[in-house]
């Protein structure tokens, strides 16, 4: 079986309080695929330009990621983003966005990509997401991401797309904006009524929460003394989360499975922010991930002890 991701492949220029990088490999599909490749074969669908160099191809193909459906547009330039993070690295300022070949992107899926077992629709225009979803009717699990731009300017289209997927992964502010609800818990319950069976609220440095009809499961972010670069952390989280589900094709996609997936997504995302861009995840090993998941499990398990409350 396989996992297909459709989204952006980009060059990022980033400055944080800990340094800066010029034109490092990035993009939602890139970060997602690197994380998900620990679990299953990943096929990437997205455009690049003539400026996409050999070193970038090598990184993109880490751990056997399949790039057959990465379209290199003759005469085009790869999507470019430049931003600066402020002192607490939780807020950032976008300085430059050049869509380039991504502006007129029309996903072209091979038969192998359409035959995927699991599909992730990264943050692209909702109409494009829905057209991809319609081509992958055999997928047993489909998850999607989006952003405030599409919530504001393409709300109706986004709603249609959400109704066609199994899982919505958004940050808590986006969930509230999408639904008009005051909390992520209320927003998630509203979205579950639209058709998806799971909602994941990304909460940045505070972790993530899973909402299903069976209940709620939440984890804090893995505690780090230093966060070097948060770029791509959300997509890395999604790659670990969805990749874990892809690695269990014979198991029902239950609240319990999704909860375990949340832990793996959280662990891999914590490595992503330790260095710039893809630098850390490219060198990451399965043993390191397993050890961090185990530590995360120990940190979040507790015994309630004997009742000591006054009535």
User: Mind listing the pLDDT tens digit for each residue in 180-229?
Assistant: 999 999 999 999 999 999 999 999 999 999 999 999 999 999 999 999 99
What pLDDT sits at residue 307? 74
Number of domains in the chain: 1
pLDDT tens-digit profile of 278-301? 999 999 999 999 999 999 999 999
Rounded to an integer, what distance in angstroms lies between the CA atom of residue 166 and that of residue 192?
A: 9
Structure tokens at 82: 């430049």
Distance of CA 55 to CAs 22, 38, 232, 283, 300, Å?
14, 20, 19, 15, 39
Q: Is residue 306 assigned to a domain?
A: no
Mean model confidence pLDDT for the chain: 96
pLDDT-derived band at 33 (thresholds 50, 70, 90) equals very high
Q: Is residue 307 assigned to a domain?
A: no
Q: What is the CATH number of the domain that holds 10?
A: 3.40.1190.20
Mean pLDDT value across residues 91-106: 94
Q: Check pLDDT > 90 for residue 86.
A: no
Q: Is residue 82 assigned to a domain?
A: yes
Query: For the chain, what percent of residues have pLDDT higher than 90?
Result: 93
Tell me which residue of 56, 41, 57, 34 sits closest to 4, measured CA to CA.
41
What pLDDT sits at residue 310? 76
Range of the domain at 152: 3-300
Q: Which residue in the block uniquely carries the two structure tokens 């072209």?
A: 108
Q: Is residue 311 assigned to a domain?
A: no
Mean pLDDT value across residues 224-244: 96
Mean pLDDT value across residues 78-101: 91
Total-model pTM: 0.96
Mean pLDDT value across residues 8-33: 96
Q: Is residue 309 assigned to a domain?
A: no
What pLDDT sits at residue 80? 97
Phi-psi region of 99 (alpha: psi -120 to 50; beta: other; left: phi over 0): alpha
pLDDT-derived band at 90 (thresholds 50, 70, 90) equals confident
Tell me which residue of 151, 154, 202, 199 sits closest to 177, measured CA to CA.
151
Q: Is residue 308 assigned to a domain?
A: no
Tell me which residue of 245, 46, 236, 32 sits closest to 128, measured CA to CA.
46
What pLDDT sits at residue 303? 82
Mean pLDDT value across residues 57-73: 97
List CB contacts of 141: < 8 A, sequence separation 6 or more. Answer: 117, 118, 119, 166, 167, 242, 245, 246, 253
Q: Is residue 70 assigned to a domain?
A: yes
Q: Check pLDDT > 90 for residue 162.
A: yes
- Give the pairing of strands 70-72 and 42-48: parallel
Helix H segments across 89-230?
111-114, 126-135, 148-153, 155-162, 172-179, 184-192
Q: Is residue 135 assigned to a domain?
A: yes
Q: Check pLDDT > 80 for residue 88.
A: no
What pLDDT sits at residue 91? 82
pLDDT tens-digit profile of 122-146? 999 999 999 999 999 999 999 999 9
Mean pLDDT value across residues 48-60: 97
pLDDT-derived band at 79 (thresholds 50, 70, 90) equals very high
């Amino acid at each position: 079986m396989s996992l297909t991701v459709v989204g952006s492949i980009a060059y990022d220029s980033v400055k944080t309080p800990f340094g800066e990088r010029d034109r490092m490999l990035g993009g939602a599909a890139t970060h997602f695929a690197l994380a998900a490749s620990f679990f299953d074969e990943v096929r990437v669908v997205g455009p690049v330009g003539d400026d996409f160099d050999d070193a970038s191809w090598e990184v993109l193909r880490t751990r056997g990621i399949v790039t057959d459906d990465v379209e290199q547009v003759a005469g085009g330039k790869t999507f470019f983003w430049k931003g600066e993070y402020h002192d607490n690295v939780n807020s950032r300022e976008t300085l430059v966005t050049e869509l380039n070949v991504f502006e007129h992107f029309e996903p072209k899926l091979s038969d192998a990509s359409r035959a995927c077992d699991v599909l992730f629709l990264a943050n692209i225009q909702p109409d494009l997401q829905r057209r991809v979803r319609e081509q992958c009717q055999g997928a047993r699990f489909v998850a999607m991401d989006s952003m405030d731009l599409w919530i504001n300017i393409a709300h109706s289209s986004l709603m249609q797309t959400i109704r066609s997927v199994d899982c919505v992964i958004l940050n808590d502010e986006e969930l509230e904006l999408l639904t008009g609800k005051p909390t992520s818990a209320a927003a998630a319950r509203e979205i579950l009524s639209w058709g998806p069976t799971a909602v994941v609220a990304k909460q940045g440095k505070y972790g993530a929460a899973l909402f299903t009809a069976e209940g709620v499961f939440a984890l804090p972010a893995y505690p780090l003394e230093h966060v070097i670069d948060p770029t791509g952390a959300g997509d890395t989280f999604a790659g670990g989360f969805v990749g874990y589900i892809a690695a269990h094709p014979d198991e029902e996609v239950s609240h319990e499975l999704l909860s375990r997936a949340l832990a793996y997504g959280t662990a891999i995302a914590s490595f992503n922010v330790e260095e710039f861009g893809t630098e850390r995840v490219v060198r990451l090993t399965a043993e390191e991930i397993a050890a961090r998941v185990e530590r995360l499990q120990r940190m979040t398990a507790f015994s309630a002890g004997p009742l000591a409350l006054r009535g």
